[in-house]
């Protein structure tokens, strides 16, 4: 919400508008969710971006909006700005469409003067992007006023539908009392007492924030689907999902709920459904881009296609609600080590506020699908901390048993240390619990104690072993609770019993954190030998703060602080980590090889020492069509710009393996597709060529080096020491005298 | 100076002693320099560690000391503690000799009780060092009281010599007024107005602090010397020097001044002198250890031997004073690129307060010999910041023209950035000066301007070119000063003219800085591509703060926070830096290959981008006899524990070269010689063996990897961009719309 204030003299006082003479709503769906007109003055102008024409729009407005317009005597104008932007070649970018409408209606300046000023501003802002971009924006301006229409407002309310409540009635108490008020923009009316005293917020709240942003949503065609699961894997918002189940589960399915036979020789007779969450989908189209199936009959038809949301919304809502209550298959049924099997697992990261097409969030979602019920996440400041803890909601959530990630955000400069602290705490609690178990064996049963102690350990951290251990812990807790005399030690063990289930610590952040501001701490934590897993979501630029160059920014890319194209190459973080010898390192790109990504996550978690995954993350800062996010990743890998590899210190023989093919696409061709590079090609073609030649040299030399590394044999793996209870080492002295 | 207070009841008040009942002086030479007895109460006991027997000592005391002893009626006791310690096998460690004397004389506790308590404390402190160490300390205690003697104090002063003034009379004004007061322990009597307003202290002050610490000093035998210069190279205190000169320079030489013919086919007829600075030598003996010449006639006699200082002191003082006024040869005469030629250059780092035998300071001294007249040093916190800026004196000094290093110390956590700022400032001043030169060419002369602009640049940074450029700058300054109208631009250029001589920026610190606390900043600065030189004085432990483990600490070494021996390997900082591709990297150990060290310094300075030298620095924290400091370095290299290499990005073909031979000494054997490792062998032999096996694996694998790297070819060097005046890049935007 922006408050713009105008007057004949400069306004220097700082206040928000209380009575607005002009209100514009750039997103029609907001009218369904919040009181957009609360500040409108009687007789004010109301400009609405509407997908419906002027003669239809009135009946689409909720009761409350109609009543306010009538009561306040508002002057209602509509424009289908998305249509105009599309026609002008601007995709979904509507700002240059809405701006002239504002000037035309507000009467702040003569219309022609305003249009001329807008065009001058466009030239200044987009000039360096090239003539086409300027021409498209000019066209948008010219088309806008012709598409602007006044609506004849009837004298009475005709709507029957009311505005939706901020959250559904089935939302939990805290969400109703606190989250909903914040969502409704009333957060500053909450008393301090309503907020959690220790700052701990419940997870699983993003699901209650139904944004219904998408103009188009994916529509599934089961008849040609091949069950690959790629669409679900890549969805940045967990808004397209997959499940496999007994056909009997479909008994009470709503009309239109789609399913097909699950193609599996090992598991015949099961059904499969791919289901969209229509209110949570952002319409980015990445799922369609990666769908590998094309209809033989119908040109351009894939197993999923984007279609306007209107006709599908209600049906898909009902289908998604039904889909959610179908239990996922037992973990053992399909295993975990394939894209397909990972995607029938429940995501515990869903519906974040990340950009449409975000390249980071699919990695986080996958992380929760694989280990979500036992992970602890330390999240550095950056995009992932914003969409990860975007008050009032968080996309991190829990499963039906209430298990899910514990998450906290720390600073750019200390997040690795923050996560190490989580690891040390978990290890210390575990060691103390083991000590207490041994002491209390006579009271709680020596057999149970022996089983718990034997099962516990990193090698037992698979789903089945963990499920068994959880059962034992429940039994232990119940026996402890039943002890006739609750000793201090029994009480302490009851408190610590949960620490006997292995915890998986993940330290997450972007390249600004890992390559730059937090790099000293990251190095220190990786060198500690402790069992932490680091996931770097590498967008190669400070995305959240506006696109400043980091040490991950590649040579030749244009970014803030590198407007002439970054002259130096990208820091080879993976190579630096491999220099330690005892760190699991993988470089992945989901769009380049999704199976390699899944395997790297599994291997990183399994390695009992430090692990580092560097994940190529496409970003709006790259200047690409985000619908093709995954295709760009594929080209990054094909060109050798982003080689895929793994270094597994647990492998005695050859710990380093290359997971992508010899580069086959010139780097310059890959780079030319992205505005971050192409800007330089336009503004300084010679410099661009030189830097691209250097980049090609980088690629070629790195590839040769990797090929050599792949041939280096090792004699012994370098296993970390098991953590103990003995505490921080004290001092030792070498002096013999003074 | 320690103040110890005793009483029948605990003393909780905080104050220093004003009237002492007991004064002990553990260093005889202190009596020559300061008023040791100023706090002695009338009738107090005075315990003196004296190399002279009781019947001789009185006549060795300065006038002032004799007078105070008589006037205050002090009870004088002496012991030759160094002799006792030597006899007990403790070398120069006298604390367990002096302690029982204190208890015996002070009467604080019954003597037998005191001796028992001292022995108990010895067992506790040194028990883990092994039985021999405990037995030697016991012996020292037992021998001490027998060697303690009362002195019959005569009734009148017999001495003729007075105490020396804190600094010689020829010291400059500031040293007389300020430094001398601080040296005399009267710093807190100085008014604020006496101190430099901006915190800038004059350099070259350590030379005025004559400590005369050594019991033995090196004595040169010109008859067998081979002119190699190694003794001068390795001296941690610049207290043994070499010069080559025309024999005519010896005309006014004092009696006993030694010289020999300089053996050189290219430069016949010259003389050479190796000269010790007897008041500045600490008697560490490193020079003798490295001397490669053994007499064929006389067993154990080398071209330099350690001898008791007494008979040599006066003569060597006169010789050193004479030596200092012999001009060094012109830089072009011998060149710069050998150990010998480096050592006839004047050191601009001398007489620091570093430990006897320090492994760090020889590198700094060499640095100043090679480039001292044009370096700017950013020094991280650590040993080097302490002995580098050890108020009131500093060892950094200037040559006869007043040119020498500019030095400042910053924090552990920002020193690399601190040095980068120095580089940016120098580059900016240089660019501005070039701009002004071009503008003012008509006034100051186009020819001169052309010559200055043509000569200036990194490729011209050799001695001869710099001398020429300095002449031109002097001419420029004189022309600017003579301009009839001094424009603002001329005034500015006069101010900036010195920046037209290339500056060499050195970022210096220990491993605690480079591997740990400052590692994020170091990485960032190395990645900047700027022309900075980083020198890491790697003692593999936080030396100055008391021996805590850093990421440079090797596997198996015992240190604080690693009392069970560090389980993880040493961080491979050099490999990490090489991953950038455009950083000059060298790993050196002066004792392993001194020529390689000299070459690495020259190559690092010559490379116009970032450079990193990792210098193995033996340290008292290693638990070795520091006299054999350089021999330990040799073994570190021989065992492959510390391979020598260089990576020169300017070499197109094979930028990486190994400079040491295939490891020929088992790592365990090398480690066994040093207490930091041997402690573990004694306390946990199995663990020691395991860790040593792992270390051997590290060594073998690293060697194989280096051999492979030595085979990797490059197609093009990766030269840094020349710095410009255009300023920090502004913002760039990739967005096409909102």
Chain B, residues 234-273, CB within 8 A of chain A, namely none
Q: Does the beta-carbon distance from A563 to B732 stay under 8 Å?
A: yes
Q: Which of A516, A523, A581 lies closest to B519 in CB terms?
A: A523
Picking from A515, A505, A550, the residue whose alpha carbon sits closest to that of residue A536 is A515
pLDDT in tens, B538-559: 999 999 988 999 999 999 999 9
A158: its two tokens: 């005709």
> How far is it, in rounded angstroms, from Cα B415 to Cα A465?
50
Q: Does the beta-carbon distance from A730 to B563 stay under 8 Å?
A: yes
Q: Does the beta-carbon distance from B732 to A580 stay under 8 Å?
A: no
Q: Which of B90, B95, B529 lies closest to A567 in CB terms?
A: B529
* Residue whose pair of structure tokens reads 């104090």 in the numeric block: B153
Picking from A166, A171, A182, A238, the residue whose alpha carbon sits closest to that of residue A205 is A171
Q: Does the beta-carbon distance from A736 to B126 stay under 8 Å?
A: yes
Percentage, residues of chain B above pLDDT 70: 96
**Is A698 touching B (CB cutoff 8 A)?**
yes
What pLDDT, on the 0 to 100 scale, is given for residue B733? 38
Rounded CA Rg of chain B: 28
> How far is it, in rounded angstroms, from Cα A681 to Cα A685?
4
Three-class DSSP category at B351: coil
**Is A132 touching B (CB cutoff 8 A)?**
no
Mutate which: B413, B579, B610, B701, vs A, most A CBs within 10 A: B579
How far is the alpha carbon of B53 from chain A, nearest alpha carbon, in Å?
Answer: 24
Chain B, residues 518-557, CB within 8 A of chain A, namely 518-521, 523-524, 527-529, 546-547, 551
Would strands A504-510 and A533-538 be described as parallel, antiparallel, or unpaired? parallel
Distance of CA B109 to the CA centre of its chain: 43
Low-confidence ranges of chain A (pLDDT < 70): 456-461, 713-738
> How far is it, in rounded angstroms, from Cα A304 to Cα A290?
10
Picking from A564, A550, A630, A163, the residue whose alpha carbon sits closest to that of residue B520 is A550
**Is B733 touching A (CB cutoff 8 A)?**
yes
Task: Cite the DSSP H helix spans in B615-728.
Answer: 629-638, 667-672, 675-683, 685-709
User: Chain A partners of B675 at a C-beta cutoff of 8 Å?
Assistant: 734
Position B522 pLDDT exceeds 50: yes
Picking from A620, A647, A646, A624, the residue whose alpha carbon sits closest to that of residue A634 is A624
**In the 8-state DSSP scheme, what is residue A2?**
-
Residues with Cβ within 8 Å of A77's Cβ and at least 6 positions away in sequence, in order, are A45, A46, A47, A48, A101, A105, A148, A149, A150, A151
- How high is the mean pLDDT of chain B? 92
> How far is it, in rounded angstroms, from Cα B541 to Cα B518?
14
Q: Does the beta-carbon distance from B579 to A581 stay under 8 Å?
A: no
Q: Does the beta-carbon distance from B523 to A519 stay under 8 Å?
A: yes
**Is A694 touching B (CB cutoff 8 A)?**
yes
Mutate which: B570, B620, B734, vs A, most A CBs within 10 A: B734
Q: Which of A125, A571, A698 lies closest to B527 in CB terms?
A: A571
Q: Does the beta-carbon distance from B679 to A734 stay under 8 Å?
A: yes
Number of cross-chain residue pairs from A and B with Cβ atoms under 8 Å apart: 194
Q: Does the beta-carbon distance from A675 to B734 stay under 8 Å?
A: yes
Position B726 pLDDT exceeds 50: no
What pLDDT, on the 0 to 100 scale, is given for residue A464? 86
User: Chain A partners of B521 at a C-beta cutoff of 8 Å?
Assistant: 520
**Is A55 touching B (CB cutoff 8 A)?**
no
Position B721 pLDDT exceeds 70: no
Chain A residue closest to B520 (CA)?
A520
User: Chain B partners of A566 at a C-beta cutoff of 8 Å?
Assistant: none
* Secondary structure E strands in B565-644: 584-588, 611-616
Neighbour-count burial for A158-180, b at 16+ CB within 10 Å, e otherwise: ebeeebeebbeeebeeebbebbb
Using CA atoms, how far residue B649 sits from B367, B549, B606, B646, B659, in Å, is 21, 32, 11, 10, 16
User: Chain A partners of B738 at a C-beta cutoff of 8 Å?
Assistant: 93-95
DSSP secondary structure of A11-60: --S----SSEEEEEES-TTHHHHS-TTTTEEEEEEEEEE-SS-TTTHHHH
> How far is it, in rounded angstroms, from Cα B61 to Cα B51?
12
Picking from A404, A375, A634, A705, the residue whose alpha carbon sits closest to that of residue A507 is A375
Using CA atoms, how far residue B6 sits from B16, B38, B211, in Å, is 12, 20, 31
How far is the alpha carbon of A426 from chain B, nearest alpha carbon, in Å?
Answer: 21
**In the 8-state DSSP scheme, what is residue A200?**
P
Mutate which: B98, B126, B515, B520, vs A, most A CBs within 10 A: B520
Q: Does the beta-carbon distance from A694 to B518 stay under 8 Å?
A: no
**Is B731 touching A (CB cutoff 8 A)?**
yes
**Is B653 touching A (CB cutoff 8 A)?**
no
**pTM across the whole model:** 0.89
Chain B residue closest to A91 (CA)?
B737
Picking from B392, B24, B75, B363, the residue whose alpha carbon sits closest to that of residue B206 is B392
> How far is it, in rounded angstroms, from Cα A203 to Cα A406?
8
pLDDT in tens, B482-493: 998 889 999 999
Which of A724-733, B97-106, B242-251 is predicted with the least confidence, judged by mean pLDDT?
A724-733
Q: Which of A137, A563, A567 lies closest to B721 in CB terms?
A: A567
Chain B, residues 609-628, CB within 8 A of chain A, namely 620-623
Q: Which of B93, B697, B730 lies closest to A738 in CB terms?
A: B93
pLDDT band at B29; cut points 50, 70, 90: confident
Neighbour-count burial for A487-517, b at 16+ CB within 10 Å, e otherwise: eeebeebbebbebbbbbbbbbbbbbbbbbbb
Three-class DSSP category at A183: helix
Task: Tell the burial category of B442 from Cβ atoms under 10 Å away from its Cβ (0-12, 13-18, 19+).
Answer: exposed
Residues with Cβ within 8 Å of B324's Cβ and at least 6 positions away in sequence, in order, are none
Identify whether A114 is preceded by a cis peptide bond (ω within 30 of 0).
no
* Secondary structure E strands in B155-296: 216-220, 240-245, 260-261, 271-276
Chain B residue closest to A624 (CA)?
B734
For A646, the enclosing helix (H) or strand (E) is: strand A645-647
What pLDDT, on the 0 to 100 scale, is given for residue B720? 58
pLDDT in tens, B331-344: 778 888 899 999 99
Task: Tell the burial category of A561 from Cβ atoms under 10 Å away from its Cβ (0-12, 13-18, 19+).
Answer: middle
User: Chain A partners of B734 at a C-beta cutoff of 8 Å?
Assistant: 547, 558, 620-623, 675-676, 679
Q: Does the beta-carbon distance from B738 to A93 stay under 8 Å?
A: yes
Using CA atoms, how far residue B305 sits from B89, B149, B653, in Å, is 21, 32, 46
Q: Does the beta-carbon distance from A582 to B571 stay under 8 Å?
A: no
Using CA atoms, how far residue B339 sits from A595, B276, B602, in Å, is 58, 18, 12
> How far is it, in rounded angstroms, from Cα A285 to Cα A357?
7
pLDDT in tens, B406-429: 999 999 999 999 999 999 999 999
Task: Cite the DSSP H helix spans in A302-414.
Answer: 313-324, 331-334, 339-343, 361-371, 383-388
Which of B7-16, B221-230, B273-282 is predicted with the least confidence, judged by mean pLDDT?
B7-16
Picking from B461, B719, B463, B414, the residue whose alpha carbon sits closest to that of residue B584 is B719
């Amino acid at each position: 919400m922006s408050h713009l204030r105008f007057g004949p003299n400069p306004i220097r006082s700082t206040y928000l508008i209380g009575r607005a003479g002009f209100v514009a709503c750039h997103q029609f769906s907001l009218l369904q969710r919040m009181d957009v007109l609360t500040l409108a003055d009687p007789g004010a102008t109301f400009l609405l971006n509407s997908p419906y024409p002027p003669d239809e729009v009135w009946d689409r407005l909720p009761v409350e909006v109609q009543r306010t317009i009538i009561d306040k005597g508002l002057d209602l104008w509509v424009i289908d700005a998305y249509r105009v932007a599309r026609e002008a070649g601007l995709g979904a970018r509507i700002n240059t469409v809405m701006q002239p409408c504002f000037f035309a209606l507000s009467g702040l300046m003569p219309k022609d003067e305003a249009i001329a000023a807008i065009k001058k501003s466009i030239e200044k802002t987009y000039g360096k992007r090239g003539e086409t971009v300027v021409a498209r924006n000019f066209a948008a301006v010219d088309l806008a006023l012709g598409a602007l229409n006044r609506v004849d407002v009837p004298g009475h309310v005709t709507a029957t539908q009311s505005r939706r409540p901020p959250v559904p009635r089935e939302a939990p108490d805290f969400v109703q009392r606190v989250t909903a008020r914040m969502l409704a923009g009333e957060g500053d009316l909450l008393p301090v007492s309503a907020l959690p005293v220790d700052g701990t917020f419940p997870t699983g709240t993003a699901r209650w924030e139904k944004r219904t942003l998408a103009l188009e949503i994916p529509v599934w065609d089961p008849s040609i689907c091949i069950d690959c699961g790629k669409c679900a894997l890549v969805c940045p918002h967990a808004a397209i999902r997959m499940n496999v189940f007994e056909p009997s589960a479909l008994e009470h399915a709503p009309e239109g709920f789609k399913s097909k036979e699950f193609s599996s020789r090992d598991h015949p007779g099961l059904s499969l459904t791919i289901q969209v969450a229509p209110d949570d989908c952002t319409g980015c189209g990445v799922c369609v881009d990666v769908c590998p199936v094309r209809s033989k009959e119908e040109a351009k038809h894939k197993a999923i296609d984007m279609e306007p949301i209107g006709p599908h919304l209600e049906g898909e809502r009902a289908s998604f609600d039904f889909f959610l209550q179908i239990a996922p298959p037992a973990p053992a049924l399909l295993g975990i080590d394939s894209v397909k099997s990972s995607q029938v697992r429940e995501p515990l990261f869903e519906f974040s506020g990340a950009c449409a097409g975000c390249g980071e969030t699919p990695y986080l979602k996958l992380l929760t699908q694989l280990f979500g019920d036992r992970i602890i996440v330390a999240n550095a400041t950056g995009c992932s901390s914003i969409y990860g803890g975007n008050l009032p909601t968080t996309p991190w959530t829990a499963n039906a048993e209430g298990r899910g990630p514990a998450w906290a955000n720390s600073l750019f400069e200390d997040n690795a240390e923050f996560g190490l602290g989580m690891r040390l705490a978990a290890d210390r609690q575990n060691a103390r619990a083991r000590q207490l178990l041994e002491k209390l064996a006579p009271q709680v049963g020596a057999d149970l104690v022996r089983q718990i102690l034997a099962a516990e350990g990193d090698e037992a951290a698979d789903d089945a072993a963990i499920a068994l251990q959880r059962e034992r812990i429940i039994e232990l807790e119940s026996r402890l609770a039943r002890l006739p005399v609750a000793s201090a030690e029994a009480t302490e063990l009851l408190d610590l019993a949960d620490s006997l289930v292995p915890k998986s610590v993940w330290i997450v952040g972007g390249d600004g954190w890992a390559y730059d501001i937090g790099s000293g701490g990251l190095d220190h934590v990786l060198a500690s030998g402790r069992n932490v897993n680091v996931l770097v979501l590498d967008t190669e630029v400070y995305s959240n703060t506006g696109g400043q160059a980091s040490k991950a920014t590649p040579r030749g890319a244009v970014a803030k602080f590198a407007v002439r194209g970054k002259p130096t190459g990208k820091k080879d973080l993976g190579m630096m980590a491999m220099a330690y010898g005892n760190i699991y390192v993988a470089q992945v790109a989901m769009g380049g090889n999704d199976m390699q990504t899944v395997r790297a996550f599994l291997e990183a978690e399994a390695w009992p020492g430090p692990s580092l995954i560097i994940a190529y993350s496409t970003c709006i800062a790259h200047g690409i069509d985000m619908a093709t996010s995954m295709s760009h990743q594929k080209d990054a890998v094909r060109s050798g710009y982003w080689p895929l590899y793994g270094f597994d210190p647990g492998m005695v023989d050859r710990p380093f393996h290359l997971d992508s093919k010899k580069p086959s696409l010139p780097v310059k061709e890959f780079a030319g597709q992205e505005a971050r590079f192409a800007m330089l090609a336009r503004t300084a073609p010679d410099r661009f060529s030189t830097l691209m030649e250097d980049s090609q040299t980088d690629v070629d030399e790195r590839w040769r080096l990797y090929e050599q590394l792949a041939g280096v044999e090792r004699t012994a793996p370098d296993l970390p020491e098991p953590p103990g209870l003995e505490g921080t080492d004290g001092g030792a002295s070498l002096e013999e005298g003074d």
